[in-house]
Amino acid sequence: YPKVGEKNSDVSIQVYDLAQNKVIMSGATDDQWEYIPRIHWTTKANELVVFFMNRHQNHLVLELWNTQTQQKQKMLEEKNKYYIDIHDNLTFLADGERFVWTSENDGWNHIYLYNKSGEELAQLTKGKWEVTSFYGVDEANELVYFQAATKNPMEREIYQVGLNGRGQKAVVDQPGYSSAQFSSNFDYYVLNQSDINTPATYTVYN
């Protein structure tokens, strides 16, 4: 970040082709986009997503770069009157055409399913509560796992919901604070659970 009154540092994203020994794609901050907060590869080897954000951090664009054709397209755009909180959970499905994304579009942080054209396919979670952690997508069983504060802000539960937005149910609904670490194939998870009177316990579940 710059000192008060000073210009932002110039930042660029560049794709370098080792075989051609040159930069084949690039993008940089400018008067409209003063931050590049994230970059993220899709499940396709030649596709890169670049996040561009304005100085006020209330306008975000995700740009899809095809490093094979050197083409760029806007994949997703979000605007907010006040502020957009960037989350590190952009998750592409195996088909490379759909992705899961969390957003505060409806006033609460929830999980959405989009395609690469920026079309919202489904809002997977809804309600006057926050998704507080996104654990990932079990594509084999078409399930999404997440942590949420559905009861009150002092507690956390763990849930699953279908990729179609149906069948949400609690995986862990104990009083207190619950968090989990899932295996890569979602066959197992380690539960960390505690409450005001109980120290953290760690348990492995299938």
pLDDT digits (tens, 9 = 90+) for 81-118: 999 999 889 999 999 999 999 999 999 999 999 999 99
Whether the CB-CB separation of 48 and 55 falls below 8 Å is answered with: no
- DSSP states of 154-166 as a string? T-BEEEEEETTS-
Whether the CB-CB separation of 179 and 155 falls below 8 Å is answered with: no
- Average pLDDT in the 130-141 region? 97
- The whole-angstrom separation of Cα 54 and Cα 56 is 6
Q: How confident is the model at residue 4 (pLDDT cuts 50, 70, 90)?
A: confident
Whether the CB-CB separation of 33 and 52 falls below 8 Å is answered with: yes
- pLDDT at 6 > cutoff 90: no
pLDDT digits (tens, 9 = 90+) for 148-195: 999 999 999 999 999 999 999 999 999 999 999 999 999 999 999 999
- Average pLDDT in the 113-135 region? 96
- pLDDT at 1 > cutoff 70: no
Radius of gyration of the chain (CA): 19
Characterize 1-26 residue by residue with b for buried, 16 or more Cβ atoms within 10 angstroms of its Cβ, and e for exposed. eeeeeeeeeeeebebeeeeeeeeebe
Q: What is the pLDDT of residue 76?
A: 96
- pLDDT at 78 > cutoff 70: yes
pLDDT digits (tens, 9 = 90+) for 33-71: 999 999 999 999 899 999 999 999 999 999 999 999 999
- The whole-angstrom separation of Cα 145 and Cα 197 is 27
Q: Which amino acid is at 190?
A: V
